[in-house]
Structure 1
Amino acid sequence: MASPFPGMDPYLEHPEIWPGLHLLLIAALAESLAPQLRPKYSVSVEVRMYETTGEQSLLVGIPDVAIQKSQKQQNNQPVNVAVASPTSQPVLVQVPMPITVRQGYLEVREVSTKEVVTAIELLSPINKRSGRGRQTYVTQRERVLSSSTNLVEIDLLRAHEPMPVFGDDLPSHYRILVSRSQIRPQAELYKFNVTDPLPAFRLPLRPDDQAPTINLQKLLDEIYDRSGYDLKLDYQQEPVPELSDAEATWLDQLLSEKGLRPIA
């Protein structure tokens, strides 16, 4: 079954859903590109380790919707604060534990030289959320941007702060950055919202090579259908993170037209 949305399905951004989609989309990109790049180039899935501590580690695996609900409940409670007696019994608490998160990305290498020509990154919350994970990714990003390696950075998450670029004054839900080493610091930035189809773009390689086109929308639609996401997503609920009022009205109308919500 096809996704009811014309582009990115915002329900796929849920913290419990996104990790699985990330793996599938990375694999689909590799499978799609490999036959188009041979025999000069090869594409491989690489894994990077992210370490995080503090509050971030306590939130791993906990859906944002549960966190928001808990915060709202706490905010609605009376402001009277009971002061613990020195003779009271200890309470059980949790301490921030360091955790390691594994995340895949793609490298396109020239077969003859083994040199990395293009890095393809699909961002996850740990890349965008403030903390050690973001710092690790930004350091790696700067390393690539200061090298002769092309960079493709795909951001299909509305939550948290986008990666920094200059000359981008208008906000958007999603972004794809295509940075070709030979024209830096200039880069191509594709911006789109939940109401828009995902744009197709050309994968940067060597300047004289014919670049294959990445049809991200087609790949995402195929993953949605093959993996049965229509059976996993609850379109009766609101997406996480929530949309604006105007976008929520559009979403409600769209889902009603698709028969996934009762007509108001």
Structure 2
Amino acid sequence: MRSPFPGMNPYLENPELWSSIHSRLIVAIADDLVEHLSEKYRVEIEKRTYFFSDEDSVLVGIPDVAVVTHQRTQAPTATATPAPTVQPEQVKVPMAEEVTERYLEIREAATGTVVTVLELLSPKNKRPGEGRIAYLRKRNQALASASHLVEIDLLRGGQPLPMSGEQSSHYRILVSRGDRRPLADLYRFNLQQPIPPIPIPLIVQEPEPMLALQPLLQYVYDKGRYAMAIDYSQPPVPPLAPADSDWVTEQLQIREDGTQ
């Protein structure tokens, strides 16, 4: 069953689904790129790992605070009053989870030189905490190098990654060529629009293949059978603005009418 939307499916943005969407889409992009690259290049799926907790602090493994006792001279008293019994209360200790995020590197086959880094953002990259810190560290490394950076943001929620210029849109794709920085190309699009094809920069003056994300997202939607996992009678997560919500309702009604 096809996705009911011409572009990004907002129901796929749910954090409960996005982890699997991310993994499948990264692999689909890698396989598609290989079909459009000469044997001069190869595509590697790389990963970064960090620890993350709901409170954005890693408490596991941090030494306890030392307890120091001091001797005191107790004044004599006529009668001894029993100390009240201290009862424990239940508290919740943040548990750190190990997070692995995958991204792509296009490398020159002969030398192993990283030509292009392709990132698909996750919700943790767009909210305060270790996920954003780890991603920004990797992003800054790429921007400080000669490698090109392609950054795909298909998530409405969270804080967009830093860049100058107008960013008012649901989704965005940044193509930053190493030989043109600090200038870069920003593709902005909204829920109602198809995901635009984007060029993948390679070695300077070589033809840039086009990456068509829209059919790849549909492929992932079909192969993952997400139509069976999504309850389209409920609003998407994160929530939509009223006008966008009305448009989604119309698209779902069109699909329902078409299946009857």
Bucket of the pairwise TM-score, normalised by the shorter protein:
0.7 to 0.9
Identity %, equivalent residues: 48
**Residues 95-148 of structure 1, C-alpha deviation per residue, up to 9 Å, x if partnerless?**
122322001100000011110000000000111110122111111111110110
Distance 1:88 1:247, change over 3 A: farther
| Aligned equivalent of 1:92, options 87, 90, 93 | 90
Matched with 2:250 is: 253
Alignment of 1:99-110 (within 5 A): 99-110=97-108
**Residues 53-100 of structure 1, C-alpha deviation per residue, up to 9 Å, x if partnerless?**
451479xxxxxxxxxxxxxxxxxxxxxxxxxxx867433221122322
Matched with 2:51 is: 51
Structure 2 regions of 5+ residues with no counterpart? Answer: 59-83
The TM-score normalised by the length of structure 1 is 0.84
Distance 1:124 1:260, change over 3 A: farther
Distance in 1 between residues matched to 2:86 and 2:170, nearest whole Å: 49
Higher Rg: 2
Q: Secondary structure at the match of 2:45?
A: strand
The TM-score normalised by the length of structure 2 is 0.85
Distance 1:57 1:11, change over 3 A: farther
Report the CA distance between 1:50 and its aligned residue.
2.1
Matched with 1:197 is: 194
Q: Is the 8 A contact 2:53 2:96 kept in 1?
A: yes
| Aligned equivalent of 1:125, options 103, 123, 126 | 123
Matched with 1:18 is: 18
Matched with 1:30 is: 30
Report the CA distance between 1:240 and its aligned residue.
0.3
Matched with 1:151 is: 149
Matched with 2:222 is: 225
Task: For 2:157, give the aligned amino acid.
Answer: A
| Structure 1 moving runs of 4+ over 3 Å | 86-89
Matched with 1:39 is: 39
Q: Is the 8 A contact 1:173 1:194 kept in 2?
A: yes
Distance in 1 between residues matched to 2:97 and 2:114, nearest whole Å: 29
Task: For 1:128, give the aligned amino acid.
Answer: K
The structure carrying a bigger helix percent of its residues is 1
Structure 1 regions of 5+ residues with no counterpart? Answer: 59-85
Distance in 1 between residues matched to 2:46 and 2:54, nearest whole Å: 27
Matched with 2:139 is: 141
Task: For 1:3, give the aligned amino acid.
Answer: S
